Structure 1
Amino acid sequence: MLGEMILARFGTETVLAVFLLFCRIGSCLMVIPGFGSDRVPVRVRLLVAIAITLALSPLLLPSMRAAMPDQGLATVTRFIVAELFVGLLLGLMGRAFIAALETIGTLISMSIGLSTMPGLAVEGNEALPSLANLMTLTATAMVFITNQHWELIRALADSYTAVPVGSGLDVQSGLARFSDQLSATFLLALRIGSPFVIYAVVVNFALGLANKLTPQIPIYFIAMPFVIAGGLYFLFVVLGEALLLFLDGYVTWLKFS
């Protein structure tokens, strides 16, 4: 009954165009950091995707209507698959930032001796060290605190200019872009964690040398509290700048995606 009323009020072409907009926007928001977190209920994510779709519809409907040659089943199916692929690709490119931050957070935990401390799953379903959870949760909160979720909506609207509707399903080009994005995000994560990599190399070299000179003393067990204390102080000094560097990389990707 409701569907018939909507079709009678707006027409089949308009409803179909809005649904195609929802395919790209909804699939992106289901996996993008923040909105796509497992801690956000699916119904909330669905309602947010519908709200953003309806808000952007007046701006994007003319281009969507012009791009559809007809309303045949084959054409509609091809458009739905293409829009789902584009939205999922955009969401996965954003998700790559969190994956890289989780990886480097785990590496930092190992570098300063905190990898054995159990942690809970915060962003996803996989349990990570407490430090990695702290970094990902803080980075996600900073995205919303600095209002970058509005920049995400702008990027979704601009994606219809960068990847027009009906331009075809270019899987090879999309996977190449995703591969380049993975390289860029993990390079950014390496820049964030490089001080701790150097710290781990220096500390382990010094401990190995001391253990070689005095093999009768368990140097590693004696020095471990000092290694953790030094790593925590080092973390206190550089964590703020590291998260700002991460946020800058994420914002840059949103502006030029």
Structure 2
Amino acid sequence: MLGVEVAQVDLASIATNELHRFLLCLGRTSALVVASPAFGGGLVPAPARALLTVLLALVVYPVMPPAEPPASVLGYAGALLAEVAVGLALGLVTALVFAAVQLAGQLLDLVTGFGVSGVFDPVSSQSLPILGHFLYLLMWVLLLATEGHHVVIRALAESYRHVPPGGVGLAGGAPVLIGMAGWMFATGLALSLPLLAVLVAVMVALGLVSRAVPQLNVFITGLPIQVAVALVTLLVGLPALGGAMADLVHPMADALARLLEAMGP
């Protein structure tokens, strides 16, 4: 009887430790799902995201290295916050990729005149210009089509090899995140530059016409011309723009790998 009681106590202790480890894994996974637009963000209902979080945690839990959970409540809370910080850092990398696309769309909206109108974005809970929101949705579709979400999931699983539970080093990953922020501005400008050049040429042509024909009100006639040129140019150049946006998965994967290396021991 004594042996049976000891076995029951050991099983209960093992089950408790495994539950604590799974909760730590759930903390990292849930932070990634919340921060990364790759999993839909506000476009996906909250119950679906919660189910996705649990499923991802079950997938990556077997690769989580064994570790004894902290004995104290404060120590466990600190370990859980560290796991959340790792998930947020991984999600921030993917969010910066989408921010670069949104920045390109907002620059185009300012030149075409679409900046005065906007649509509600459930991800950021704010109003966004039309082209910025369109490119954001296009980037999401391209990310899923090129299996970019698999890159994010692999980075989550690989994070346990570089950053085991309790071994977070966010200070080491800060330069990578700062570099990605600069990359975001440069990429957003590069994506919008061809169409911006066409629209600037149209504005210069309208300015010359207004000097040649002062009776022509450029402010009234010029805006429809700019919108028409912008839409036609965007339609013609959409395959090339889509290809350039799909290629953003590669620098995202590289940034995730560099972030994990920097945060590792």
TM-score by length of 2: 0.82
CA distance in 1, matches of 2:15, 2:26: 17
1:31 match: 35
Unaligned runs of 5+ in 1: 1-6
Match status 1:84 vs 2:84 = yes
- Displacement of 1:26 after TM fit? 0.9
- Does the C-alpha gap of structure 1 residues 122 and 137 become closer, same or farther in structure 2, counting only changes over 3 Å? farther
- Displacement of 1:149 after TM fit? 1.8
CA distance in 1, matches of 2:63, 2:38: 25
1:181 match: 180
Q: How does 1:89-108 map to 2 (within 5 A)?
A: 89-108=89-108
Match status 1:55 vs 2:59 = yes
CA contact (8 A) 1:123 1:136 kept: no
Q: How does 1:101-250 map to 2 (within 5 A)?
A: 101-121=101-121, 123-170=123-170, 172-250=171-249
- Displacement of 1:117 after TM fit? 4.1
- Displacement of 1:256 after TM fit? 4.9
CA distance in 1, matches of 2:239, 2:35: 26
- Displacement of 1:165 after TM fit? 2.9
CA distance in 2, matches of 1:212, 1:189: 33
Secondary structure of the 1:127 match is: strand
CA distance in 2, matches of 1:168, 1:238: 43
Shift >6 Å, 4+ stretches: none
Unaligned runs of 5+ in 2: 1-10, 257-265
Aligned residues: CA RMSD = 2.4
Between 50-59 and 137-146, report the one with greater CA deviation: 137-146
Q: Percent identity?
A: 26
1:15-61 per-position Cα deviation (integer Å, ceiling 9, x unaligned): 1111111111110111211425212122211111111111111122x
1:83-106 per-position Cα deviation (integer Å, ceiling 9, x unaligned): 111111111221112222222212
1:4 match: none
Give the total of aligned pairs. 246
Secondary structure of the 1:115 match is: helix
CA contact (8 A) 1:111 1:196 kept: no
Aligned amino acid, residue 104 of structure 1: A
CA distance in 2, matches of 1:223, 1:69: 66
TM-score by length of 1: 0.85
CA distance in 1, matches of 2:255, 2:224: 45
CA contact (8 A) 1:101 1:136 kept: yes
Aligned amino acid, residue 143 of structure 2: V
